Amino acid sequence: MASQAGNKSVDAIPDRRPPISGVSAGGEQPANGEHSTTARLLLAYQDVVSELGGNPEAWLDEAGIAQGAADDPAAQVPLRSLGQLLEDTAARLNCPDFGMRLAERQSMQATMQPLDRLFCTAPTVRDAFECCIRHIVAFNSGLIMELEDDFYDEGEGGFLHFQLLDGLSLFPQLLEQLLLLTHHSVLFLSAGFARSRTVWLSHLNIAPPVAYAKRFNTVVKFGQEYDGLFFGNADLASRVADCDSQSFAKEAQIVAERFPAYRKDIDIKVRQAVFRLLTSSEICTRENIARQLGLQERTLNRRLSKRGTSFEAIRDEVRRNLAFRYLARDDLSLTEIAGRLGYSELAVLSRSCRRWFGTAPRRLRQDLLTARSLPAREGRQLAS
């Protein structure tokens, strides 16, 4: 972990941070149709790849990412490009824990820019998380972070989970990197007093289980519905070691002026509610969704129409995204997948897959699993 920031006042640190472009507010699709993330997530990429015998310069060029992008705090790169680069690199190097290796070489302060000072001066770990959630678009327009209390049956505390807005993006390397960075950040912020108690990953393990146990030093569960970290109430209430209320207040004002607070639009609220009902095997109807959101069905329809969508379209999209994710796993039968999507018959899943992807679910599963086992370039061609 990099050296810790001292208790410097914000007044003593000139604010030379340039504005960040290409970032949208409230989870909206960016004007160019492509979500972006901070290039700082590639810090140490070239060093790690070189040490493992790879060619980082050529691979960055192939991904369309400038070699010096990671050194620029304001630089943004397409989220898909970064995610795919990590997948390709892991395959080329035959290094299934590449995302975690990268996270081990990165510091929270560097990757959190431009929110690092706000994060480091927060009163508690919970406050730090809430700041990050509120201004997530400052460094990633395609990621939603949420902190939910008493989530499911993992005990009292909070669940910090991550969701990529592009539901068809299968980037386990990126998710493992983000979760380990967050795990390290909590240890750093609290001077070791707080840590994650359980880790959830939506994909099956791509590295040996010992690789996860060594890094997280806690229970890691695979094939879950969400990607995230569970914390106890005492962890979330832990005091940030370098907290400074005066600096925190000033930095919060600076950040609020430069970056819009995250605003969850109705279509995202509905998408998340549909996801919850489908993944909990509850009946996913317009009536149930409206009730969960505290709206009349007519009001729900009108607000979705203003966003250019409908309940049926969103439910179909969520089912498509879940089907794609489930078919990339070899531990679920097609019948199980159909049931998870709320279909009473396997034939309905088959028809839906042909409509969504132009192929049968069995063939898509074969293509996805084969693509995971091939070198990067061949795998991409097969999956496309």
pLDDT, residue 156, reads 79
pLDDT, residue 189, reads 93
Q: What is the pLDDT of residues 11-38, one digit of tens each?
A: 333 333 333 333 333 334 444 458 899 9
Q: What is the pLDDT of residues 306-315, one digit of tens each?
A: 999 999 999 9
Q: What is the pLDDT of residues 218-266, one digit of tens each?
A: 999 999 999 999 999 999 999 999 999 999 999 888 888 888 777 788 9
Domains of the chain (ranges; CATH) run: 25-258 (no CATH), 266-383 (1.10.10.60)
Q: Which residues of the chain have pLDDT under 70?
A: 1-33, 152-155, 372-384
The pLDDT > 90 percentage for the chain reads: 65
Q: What is the pLDDT of residues 141-153, one digit of tens each?
A: 888 899 999 776 6
pLDDT, residue 264, reads 81
What CA–CA distance (Å, rounded) separates 54 from 36? 25
